[in-house]
C-alpha cells in the first residue's frame, strides 16, 4: 500500500503531505528530508523508482514539483506512477492549469482533491469526470453552508 504521499518543490518545500501510517511528526520530517535530498539529485531520464530502506519511493516530476509516493509491500510500480499522474491530472482539471501558486494558496482544496483520489493509501476513483462532479457538488454545499442557507 501507499504509506505516504508527498508533494514538494525543487527547493524541498513541502506543499502537501498525507501519511497513511502511524508516524510521529519528527519521523515524518526526517523521512521527508532524506527522500527529498535523494530525489532532487536524480536526473530526469532516470528510473522513477528508488529503493529506500524497506520501502520503494515512486515519484514523478511536473514542472518544479515532485509528486512522491512511499510504497511498502507488493505494488505495481508502473500502476502507482499512473495513479500519481491521474492525481496530477485531477488537480489540473479542478484548478484549471494548476501551478505551484494554486497549491500554495489553496492547499486545502488540493487536499480535497487528494482525498477523492486516494483513501487510506489506496486508489479510490479513476474517472476524472466522476470526481469533478463530486467535488463540484461539495463545493456548492460549502458555499451554501457559508451563506447560512442550509445546515447538515
Partner 1 sequence: MSTRLRELIRKVRQCKTAAEERAVVAKESAYLRDAFKREDAGGRHRNIAKLMYLHMLGYPTHFGQMECLKLIARPSFAEKRIGYLGLMSLLDEKQEVLMLVTNSIQQDLKGKNQYSIGLALCALGNLCSAEMARDLVVDVKRIMRSSTIYLKKKAAICAVRLSQKAPELVRDFMDEALSLLDERSHGVLLGAVTLAVELCRLDPTLVDEFRDKLVNLIKMLKHLTTSSGSGYGSSGDHHVRGVPDPFLQVQILHLLRLLGVGSPGASDRMSDVLAQVASSTDASKNAGCAVLYECACTILEIQSTGGLKVLAVNILGKLLGHRDNNMRYVALDALVKVVRIDASAVQRHKGAILAALADGSDASTRSKAIELAFELVTAKNVEDFVAEVFNLLDDDDPQFKAKLVDKICGAVEAHAPTPTWHIATITKVLVSAGRHVSEASLRSFLAFLTRQPPSVQEVAVRHLADLFLDKSGAPPRSPQLLLCVLWCVGEFGALLPDGADQVGILAAALEGQEGAEIAEVGLTALAKVGARSGAQDRQRARDVISRFNSSVDLELQARSCEFGKLFDHKRLMPEVLEAIPPLEDQQEEAAAGVPEAAPAVPVEADPMGDLLGDLGTSGGPVAAPAAAGDLLGDLLGGGGEPTATAVTPSSNPLDDLLNL
Q: What residue ranges bind partner 1 (CB under 8 A)?
A: 1, 14-20, 22-25, 29, 43, 45-51, 76-79, 81-83, 85-86, 104-105, 107-108, 111-112, 115, 119-130, 134, 137-138, 141-142, 144-146, 150-152
Smallest distance from partner 1 to CB 115, Å: 5
Judged by beta carbon, residue 63 or residue 104, the one nearer partner 1 is 104
Smallest distance from partner 1 to CB 97, Å: 20
Residue-wise DSSP of 101-117: HHHHHTHHHHHHHHHHH
Write out the H or E segment, with its range, that includes residue 87: helix 77-95
Angle at 86 between CA 98 and CA 40, to 5 degrees: 70
Judged by beta carbon, residue 46 or residue 99, the one nearer partner 1 is 46
Judged by beta carbon, residue 63 or residue 134, the one nearer partner 1 is 134
Judged by beta carbon, residue 63 or residue 127, the one nearer partner 1 is 127
Closest among 98, 140, 94 to 115, alpha carbons compared: 94
Q: Give the whole-angstrom CA distance, residue 92 versus residue 87.
A: 9
Smallest distance from partner 1 to CB 95, Å: 16
Distance set, CA 69 to CA 31, 126, 137, 145 (Å) = 12, 17, 28, 34
Smallest distance from partner 1 to CB 62, Å: 14
Amino acid at each position: 500500500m501507499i504509506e505516504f504521499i508527498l508533494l514538494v518543490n525543487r527547493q524541498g518545500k513541502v506543499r502537501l503531505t498525507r501519511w497513511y501510517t502511524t508516524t510521529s511528526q519528527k519521523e515524518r520530517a526526517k523521512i521527508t528530508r532524506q527522500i527529498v535530498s535523494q530525489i532532487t539529485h536524480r536526473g530526469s531520464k532516470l528510473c522513477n523508482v528508488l529503493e529506500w530502506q524497506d520501502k520503494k519511493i515512486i515519484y514523478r516530476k511536473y514542472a518544479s514539483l515532485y509528486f512522491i509516493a512511499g510504497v511498502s509491500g507488493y505494488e505495481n510500480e508502473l500502476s502507482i506512477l499512473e495513479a500519481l499522474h491521474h492525481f496530477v491530472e485531477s488537480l489540473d482539471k479542478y484548478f484549471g492549469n494548476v501551478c505551484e501558486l494554486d497549491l500554495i494558496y489553496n492547499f486545502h482544496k488540493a487536499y480535497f482533491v487528494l482525498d477523492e483520489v486516494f483513501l487510506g493509501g489506496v486508489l479510490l476513483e479513476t474517472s476524472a469526470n466522476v470526481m469533478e462532479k463530486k467535488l463540484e457538488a461539495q463545493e456548492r454545499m460549502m458555499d451554501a453552508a457559508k451563506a447560512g442557507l442550509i445546515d447538515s
